[in-house]
Amino acid sequence: MDALRRLFVSSLAPLSASSQLDGDGKSTSLEPSAMTTPKPFPLLALPNEIIQQILGHLRPLELVELSLTCLSLRSHAANDLLWARFVQENLPVPQSSPSPCHTWRELYTAHYPYWFLPRHKIWFADKATVGNGLAGQLIFARYDSRLGSIEAYRLVAEIGRDHEAELWEWNPTVRIHRFNPKIRLFLDNPVIKLNLGDLSATRRLHQEVLMQREADQRLHGIRSMLFLSRAIPNELQDSTMSLWPPSIVPATNRVRNESPTMFKGEGHKPQHADQISETNFRLRKWSEFRSQGGRSSVRMGEDVLTFSTLPSDCYTPSAEKPYQGIWVGDYASHGCEFLLLTQWSQKETQEQDLVVPGSPSTYLYGDSDTNEDDSDTEVTTIETEDPPGCSGRLEAIKLTGDPHVPRGEHTWIAEDIGRGGLIRVADERDFKGARIVKSWSHIAASGFRDDRYIRSQLILISHDSLAMYWEDFGHVSFYTRVNIDDYLNLDS
């Protein structure tokens, strides 16, 4: 890319040498001898196919800047195949046409700079729109080619019970609560709906875009505006800042999620394109009550939600890390909650210097009153080597939470799912053949008070199904993998 820029500079040199500005800003010609034999424009001397290949390495703003140099390069930069690539690289499903726009360039321009929304797909918030703020919310963003709009909807789940709780054959005092969650996108009320024409022609970096919905035509309702955020450089972050996402969640960038001005100051918004955080954005929400006829209105309860995405490599399963992904868990009276499961190799665990809950020297999560001698964690199976994919550390982080343990906190940690943490291999009917490993589960009083970790046992049923034996509570609950692609399809 640097070599390409040097080529552009050298190509433009003859143009800049042919004229100059005088003290009044007027153009004056140089000596006639310099004008009679202008040097050829090196870039334009190349075949058109080569020029297009070179331009194919440029980003959109660089292509725009290049188009301002001369009419010939402007024509090359307008090649719609270049702009088709910019759209397609942001969409998980390739599009065959820019419809309803006439050109790919028109389509890309219409939604710039918000193409990162469908590109990253998964977004989770620091607050819920209504109800308990600690719950947060998980949304999936996608592009609707029928309308040319970018949309995002909440992912919701309902607990499905096939039958009543049953007793565990291995320990008849423990109740097993089966889990068959009903997962869907809540299509009735989009969190984001960015239509063609919603963005202004200027000041897009500062614009707060009103999300137009049918509900906005009613007298009363919740309104929202979408706007960009600006990342806090790593060197400026410290423990006193309220940042989103929290430090335990893998992230490329972090932004503030508290502001006395409700993020209305210019310092919270990007001033130029390279300051845009493409892994975070914000929604301003408020309740609005209008008089009959809409001549006056009252705005109440304004709040700002901060959203972040997840690096794809932290939720994409692999042969070495088959348990990674987005999961949904059964939290009894709290309902279903969505989790991020990250799997760390033993080497990564050592390099990251991850805290081990329960260790006398590193226990940072509050005192545990669980006596190790009272635990049901007697090791009855010994392995000489770890099975494929069953090694290292497994962490479950809440993407949505409840009044006790909120979003952005660990819900459980298995320090070693390999032979180092193995308790036994189940031989009872309920979990026959499943490996059961030691784990720690996170509990707290309402309002996330007095949080602590208690001993538990993680049951590795399959790469798509897990169960947790909560020793202190005497019950087993389940976790199921969420198939992300099922909710990116417009027919879901």
Local confidence pLDDT in tens for the 492 residues of the chain: 555 445 454 444 444 443 333 434 444 443 444 445 556 678 888 999 999 999 999 999 999 999 998 899 999 999 999 999 999 999 988 899 999 999 999 999 999 999 999 999 999 999 987 666 789 999 999 999 999 999 999 999 998 766 678 999 999 999 998 899 999 999 999 999 999 999 988 889 999 999 865 445 555 678 899 999 999 998 999 888 999 999 999 999 999 999 999 999 888 999 999 999 999 999 999 988 877 666 677 888 899 999 999 999 999 999 999 999 999 999 988 999 999 999 998 888 766 655 544 433 333 334 444 444 455 666 666 666 888 889 999 999 999 999 999 999 999 999 999 999 999 999 999 999 999 999 999 999 999 999 999 999 999 999 999 999 999 999 999 999 999 999 987 765
For 163, the token pair is: 């039958």
Q: How far apart are CA 167 and CA 1, in angstroms?
A: 65
Reference 44, options 81, 6, 87, 74; nearest CA is 74
pLDDT at 386: 84
Residue 460 near residue 390 (C-beta atoms within 8 A): yes
- CB neighbours of 240 closer than 8 A, spacing ≥ 6? none
For 467, the token pair is: 């169960």
> pTM of this prediction?
0.85
pLDDT at 383: 67
- CB neighbours of 188 closer than 8 A, spacing ≥ 6? none
Q: How far apart are CA 385 and CA 76, in angstroms?
A: 60
78 secondary structure, DSSP code: T
Residue 129, Cβ density class (10 Å: 0-12 exposed, 13-18 middle, ≥19 buried): middle
Q: How far apart are CA 198 and CA 188, in angstroms?
A: 20
pLDDT at 161: 66
pLDDT at 369: 47
Q: How far apart are CA 83 and CA 101, in angstroms?
A: 13
Q: How far apart are CA 102 and CA 86, in angstroms?
A: 16
The total of other beta-carbon atoms located within 10 Å of residue 258's CB is 13
Q: How far apart are CA 38 and CA 31, in angstroms?
A: 12
Token pair 């665990």 in the structure block, residue: 349
Q: How far apart are CA 45 and CA 412, in angstroms?
A: 63
pLDDT at 380: 64
pLDDT at 311: 95
